[in-house]
Structure 1
Amino acid sequence: MAATINSLQERQDQPKEYPVLWWTKWFGETIEEGRVINFCGLPYTCRFTLDRTKYDEAKVIIVHASSFEPNDVPNLRDVKSGKKALVLNTAEAPQDYMINSKWTDIFTHLWSYEFTADFVHTYFISGRGPGTFINSILAKPMYTIQEKNIFRKDLAPVAWIVSSCKAKNGRHIYINQLLKYIKVDIYGKCMKNKDWPVHPDGREYTDLEVVGQYKFYLSIENSNCDDYVTEKLDRPYAVGVVPILDGPKDYSRFIPTNHSSLRLDDFATPKQLALRINQLDQDDRAYMRYLDYKDSESLLSPKLLETWDPPQGTWGPDGSGSRCGVCKLAHDMAEGTYEYNPKKVIGPDTTCYFKKWVYISWVAEFYWWMIVLAVLGIFAAITVAIVCSKSYRARRSFQALKYNLTPSRWREKRMADGSRITEEYLLLASKTD
Structure 2
Amino acid sequence: MAETTNAVQEPQDQPKQYPILWWTTWFGQTLEEGRIINNCGLPYSCKFTLDRNLYDESKIIIAHAPSFQFDFPHLDDVKSGRKALLLNTLEAPQEFQINSQWTDIFTHMWSYSFGTADFVESYFAAGRGRGTFLESVLAKPMYTIQEKNAFRKDLAPIAWIVSNCVARNGRHHYVEQLLKYIKVDIYGKCMTNMAWPEHPDGRAFEAREVVGRYKFYLSIENNNCDDYVTEKIQRPYSVGVVPILDGPKDYSRFLATNHSSIRLDDFATSKQLAHRILELDKDDAAYMKYLDYKESTTPIESLLNPRLLETYDLPQGTWGPDGDGARCGICKMAHDMAEGTYQFNSSKVIGADTTCEFTKWASISQEDEIIKRETELYWWIVALVVLAALTGVISIIVCYKSRRARRSLQVLKNNLTPSGWREKKLGNDSTRMEDYQLLTSQNED
The normalised TM-score by structure 1 is: 0.80
Q: SS in structure 2 opposite 1:232?
A: helix
Tell me how far apart the structure 2 counterparts of residues 303 and 318 of structure 1 sit (CA, whole Å): 16
| 1:25-424 map, 5 Å | 25-70=25-70, 72-95=71-94, 98=97, 100-116=99-115, 117-296=117-296, 297=300, 298-359=302-363, 361-362=365-366
Q: How much does 1:351 deviate? A: 1.4
Check 1:97–1:214 CA distance in 2 against 1; reply closer, same or farther (3 A cut): farther
The question of whether the paired residues in 2 share the 8 Å contact of 1:94 and 1:348 is answered with: no
- The size of the alignment, in residue pairs, is 360
Identity, in percent, stands at 72
Q: How much does 1:189 deviate? A: 1.3
Letter in 2 for 1:221: E
Tell me how far apart the structure 2 counterparts of residues 352 and 133 of structure 1 sit (CA, whole Å): 24
Letter in 1 for 2:186: I
Q: For structure 1, which runs of at least 5 residues remain unmatched after alignment?
A: 366-433
1:350-393 deviation line (CA, Å, top 9, x unaligned): 0100111111744999xxxxxxxxxxxxxxxxxxxxxxxxxxxx
Check 1:37–1:339 CA distance in 2 against 1; reply closer, same or farther (3 A cut): same
Letter in 1 for 2:138: L
1:25-60 deviation line (CA, Å, top 9, x unaligned): 011100100000011111111010000000011111
Q: SS in structure 2 opposite 1:314?
A: coil
Tell me how far apart the structure 1 counterparts of residues 73 and 210 of structure 2 sit (CA, whole Å): 46
The question of whether the paired residues in 2 share the 8 Å contact of 1:168 and 1:222 is answered with: yes
Q: For structure 2, which runs of at least 5 residues remain unmatched after alignment?
A: 370-445
Letter in 2 for 1:79: V
Q: How much does 1:100 deviate? A: 3.4
Tell me how far apart the structure 1 counterparts of residues 232 and 352 of structure 2 sit (CA, whole Å): 24
The question of whether the paired residues in 2 share the 8 Å contact of 1:246 and 1:263 is answered with: yes
The question of whether the paired residues in 1 share the 8 Å contact of 2:21 and 2:49 is answered with: yes
Check 1:3–1:319 CA distance in 2 against 1; reply closer, same or farther (3 A cut): farther
Which protein has the larger Cα radius of gyration, Structure 1 or Structure 2?
Answer: 2
Equivalent position of 1:378 in the other structure: none
The question of whether the paired residues in 2 share the 8 Å contact of 1:16 and 1:45 is answered with: yes
Q: SS in structure 2 opposite 1:239?
A: coil
Q: How much does 1:101 deviate? A: 2.0
Equivalent position of 1:403 in the other structure: none
- C-alpha RMSD of matched pairs (Å): 1.8
Q: SS in structure 2 opposite 1:87?
A: strand
Equivalent position of 2:383 in the other structure: none
Tell me how far apart the structure 1 counterparts of residues 94 and 101 of structure 2 sit (CA, whole Å): 16
1:194-248 deviation line (CA, Å, top 9, x unaligned): 0000111110000000000000000000000000000011000000000000000
Equivalent position of 1:9 in the other structure: 11
Letter in 2 for 1:81: S
1:23 counterpart = 2:27: no
The question of whether the paired residues in 1 share the 8 Å contact of 2:164 and 2:222 is answered with: no
